[in-house]
Structure 1
């Protein structure tokens, strides 16, 4: 089996049989020729059902995660919502307590309409997750590292908890793409990625991925729901995501190296009350992260002494970090998560989340220093 770097560079890649082009062609057609009786000589019917560019991208994404099947969606939220809507009515879902706030909002607002119930648990503690199980639990929703507190959960231990209860384990791996973490190899059943982030990698495309360890009933239900609801990624988005995947290992190495330097510097700064980064030895789940991740990622958050007022002042003084949402692109971003999440946010008011980009580390360090020291 080729190594992950080779898979990222080559998976799904073959010379185009028509032109010999080495780059996967962008096929924008919305409809394809079929025979009078509905046979598909080329394998394609209609772009919403499937299309050649999406198919090539899904093959590469499945290879990266070691998945039997991958499905591409227009956004990460569409991918996650599909995984949830495809559950049988009456299912109970346990969400990690620091899962992405939009998924918690989705559960609160839409689960009653879908016939689902949910509860929260601290996924860094398998016993707490076990205590949250119900007879009707069908899915454990993990996020590791989590957004924005960078909590880490033991994927293998949670897979055991899920499977003993007759449930599946889904891992949101957006903060740790496949070159850093392989949840399916650790026993997870589904991996969710917001491809808008590191997989696309350049802040210019949106997408979401579900990668399945087995091409079974739930995967088929998710595919059928995508087809009927029209949650298909555009061919151009698929092509852009595949282009991003080709440089994923190289980009992640630089993201990780920069983030580690910033985390160490912030950890030593007198105006920083706390740093959330799994690569720091004093992170509560550092040992788990070291065991299941190849590196610790390009995301970190820190809490400024003085709470919200001080944190907003620091964010306002930053010159190289841009105040913007999202993550995983080439430029460094800062965000006061509590402000973005709104009044219901449980994020500490003094917390700033950093998406560490590909700039020179010293320039980023200098920018943080001047903002903190002013």
Structure 2
């Protein structure tokens, strides 16, 4: 086993994948340079040269769509942190998931997916895989392991889950579903974006492939869009790699690869701060009279708190809560806040807040939203790393605005 594989997570977050640049490059770069070149010079004309002969691990590159030194360093680090053998970085999390599923299903196949997925993933499964690629899709409560198994048929080839889910923070039992997938010879994929590799590693629990939106915690600074998949399945990695390089031709650009590499160096300390702040915010909200429910796996009141404690090493920085009121109350609350920015996305160092029914999940029909508990007053919070006292004071100002009735103008 290589030294980096024996090193602690915190160490690998800083160094994994970058050793060739520190010790082997002409300049001895401490950090990986941004390799913007679209193509690379060859030492000579070798009539036996093929794609398979070009080995990035030996510092050999041909064309940046196939592999790029900056992206390759990132992919090595992502694999190390997730505990896998292979990683591929894409231009978005959606592209990463799409390419993984495209590599795994054929027309006529069946796919089982969690019903509380990110709205973009759900729309992809419905509008692309089901409606255009003739892949049957069944949505099921991922938190109900028996329901997941019941949904599996002879035509099922993939089970796709997200844990915790967006935005209700529901967990699936990764190890239990992995056993189901193995018994039915089905590929099991997990979107690990919300927990990050620091707090959860589904491959270690039996999943076959893990996806991330690197846009979120892995990059951590709200300045890069990207995605990644990690697996230890050689055949699956080869197929995803082919689709990435040739079939779809989608990859993460060198500059974004550099940004994610840089962001990963501080992932452990960021995640600890995110979690500490999120727990304080969750406890504050749970005790507030204007809140009816709080969804955060770190709370003992969360129905899957024990599962979270068992399969995660921390509870993350995202939560959602139900405001006691109507849509207009939610709007007044959100528009009053100053420290929390009203914006979609999660995982940046700044605190973000949004109303899923009107923002991230608005494209879903109301009946589909309500079926998974997304009401007009469900609010999702991505808790940043600011002073928690400032964050709590900001939330209190939002609640205070609910107690202030609008004053009618004098005639």
1:4 aligned onto 2:25: no
1:20 aligned onto 2:19: no
CA distance in 1, matches of 2:105, 2:122: 19
Match for 1:230 among 231, 249, 264? 249
Cross-structure match for 2:387: 360
1:344 aligned onto 2:365: yes
CA distance in 2, matches of 1:149, 1:42: 44
Cross-structure match for 1:72: 89
CA distance in 2, matches of 1:280, 1:115: 41
The CA deviation string for residues 184-222 of structure 1, in whole angstroms up to 9 with x for no partner, is 00001111000000000001011101000322x222111
Report the secondary structure of 1:339's partner residue: coil
Query: Aligned-pair distance for 1:370?
Result: 1.1
Contact 1:85 1:114 in 2 (8 A): no
Superposed, 1:120-131 pairs within 5 Å as 120-131=139-150
Query: Aligned-pair distance for 1:125?
Result: 1.0
Cross-structure match for 1:246: 265
Cross-structure match for 1:60: 77
Cross-structure match for 1:37: 46
1:275 aligned onto 2:290: no
Say if 1:136 and 1:256 are closer, same or farther in 2 by CA, change over 3 A. Answer: same
CA distance in 2, matches of 1:295, 1:314: 29
Cross-structure match for 1:325: 344
Contact 1:150 1:278 in 2 (8 A): yes
Match for 2:116 among 77, 98, 101? 98
Superposed, 1:29-178 pairs within 5 Å as 29-34=37-42, 35-37=44-46, 39=49, 43-89=60-106, 90-111=108-129, 112-178=131-197
Query: Aligned-pair distance for 1:115?
Result: 3.0
Report the secondary structure of 1:113's partner residue: coil
CA distance in 1, matches of 2:141, 2:134: 24
Contact 1:303 1:311 in 2 (8 A): no
Deviates more, 1:287-296 or 1:107-116: 107-116
CA distance in 1, matches of 2:135, 2:101: 9
CA distance in 2, matches of 1:208, 1:331: 20
Query: Aligned-pair distance for 1:7?
Result: 1.2
CA distance in 1, matches of 2:262, 2:38: 21
Report the secondary structure of 2:122's partner residue: helix
Report the secondary structure of 1:211's partner residue: strand
Contact 2:294 2:322 in 1 (8 A): yes
**TM-score, length-scaled by structure 1:** 0.97
Match for 2:396 among 319, 344, 369? 369
Contact 2:189 2:210 in 1 (8 A): yes
Contact 2:105 2:158 in 1 (8 A): no
The CA deviation string for residues 202-243 of structure 1, in whole angstroms up to 9 with x for no partner, is 01011101000322x222111111112220111111111110
Deviates more, 1:86-95 or 1:340-349: 340-349
Query: Aligned-pair distance for 1:329?
Result: 0.6
Report the secondary structure of 1:188's partner residue: coil
Report the secondary structure of 1:191's partner residue: strand
Deviates more, 1:227-236 or 1:142-151: 227-236
CA distance in 2, matches of 1:80, 1:207: 11
The CA deviation string for residues 319-360 of structure 1, in whole angstroms up to 9 with x for no partner, is 111100111111101100110122515122111100100110
CA distance in 2, matches of 1:370, 1:25: 45
Cross-structure match for 2:408: none
CA distance in 2, matches of 1:373, 1:129: 43
Query: Aligned-pair distance for 1:12?
Result: 1.1
Cross-structure match for 1:311: 330
Query: Aligned-pair distance for 1:310?
Result: 1.5
Contact 1:267 1:275 in 2 (8 A): yes
CA distance in 1, matches of 2:112, 2:332: 37
Deviates more, 1:313-322 or 1:36-45: 36-45
Contact 2:351 2:384 in 1 (8 A): yes
Report the secondary structure of 2:391's partner residue: helix
Query: Aligned-pair distance for 1:42?
Result: 5.1
Larger radius of gyration: 2
**TM-score, length-scaled by structure 2:** 0.89
Deviates more, 1:2-11 or 1:77-86: 2-11
- Consecutive unaligned residues of structure 2, counting only runs of 5 or more, are 1-5, 402-411
